[in-house]
Amino acid sequence: MSRIGYSRLQVTAQLLRPPVFDPRKLSTTFLPGCTESGPLPPAPRRYTLTHNDLTGQLRLSIGSAYNRAQVSGWYTRLIRDEVLAEWRFESGGQASLHVHCHVSGEERWLAPPALRNYIFQREMPLVLDTVLYADRVLLSQLPCFQNAAVVVHLTSHIKELHTSMQWGQLSQRATWPSSSTSLGWGLARRHVC
């Protein structure tokens, strides 16, 4: 294989491989009324995650409400690649983490909705690793939350891409869907809630 062909293959493989979590690239902010250790649920606890495509830096805010200021910048409003998550509780007290991703709407992006859908799913392990690391103090106090179900909500104006899916248990990576290099994998493996 030629050098150019091999290099192209490496670039393609890198683009399809899920990013690895690096805590040195994470900046965590606890919003007023929230700390590493509380308040304890069922008080609201929400996560606002954004990133810089050029540097790979992750910015996570943890609070009782989403950090609207963090997602109101022109870049984030244009790209709409923020991830929002929140704890929800069933009537019996069972906790689940709900993750929300905006795949498409009436906006016009360079990346088509099917590609955005694939990217959000490919990067979901990074999202969950980020939450696990940033909220490790609180989660160590609540072992039952570590095994909570994760539900991913993909919002789209395209019916086939607008769905919710079970993603396994928060701290049990073996229960998470395995990654794939196919752009169509997310459409074929839906587990609708």
Ordered by start, the domain boundaries in the chain are 21-188
**5, amino acid identity:** G
pLDDT at 175: 94
Residue 162, exposed/middle/buried by CB under 10 A (0-12, 13-18, 19+)? Answer: middle
Instruction: Name the pLDDT band for 51 (thresholds 50, 70, 90).
Output: confident
Which of 21-35, 74-88, 94-108 is the least confident region? 74-88
Instruction: Name the pLDDT band for 143 (thresholds 50, 70, 90).
Output: confident
Please compute the mean of the pLDDT values over residues 33-58 and round it to a whole number: 90
Please report the beta strands in 8-113, taking only residues with DSSP state E, as ranges in sequence order: 26-30, 46-51, 58-63, 83-89, 95-102
Instruction: Name the pLDDT band for 46 (thresholds 50, 70, 90).
Output: very high
Percentage of the chain beyond pLDDT 70 is: 77
Q: Return d(Cα 188, Cα 139) in angstroms, integer.
A: 33
Instruction: Name the pLDDT band for 81 (thresholds 50, 70, 90).
Output: confident
Whether residue 110 is predicted with pLDDT greater than 60 in this model: the reply is yes
Angle 124-134/113-122 helices, nearest 10 degrees? 40
Which of 70-79, 136-145, 156-165 is the least confident region? 70-79
* Phi–psi pair at 131, nearest 5 degrees: -65, -45
The rounded mean pLDDT for the chain is 83
**4, amino acid identity:** I
Q: Return d(Cα 80, Cα 72) in angstroms, integer.
A: 10
Contact yes or no for 139/132 (Cβ under 8 A): yes
pLDDT at 124: 95
Please compute the mean of the pLDDT values over residues 120-144 and round it to a whole number: 94
106 versus 28: the higher-pLDDT residue is 28
Residue 19, exposed/middle/buried by CB under 10 A (0-12, 13-18, 19+)? Answer: middle
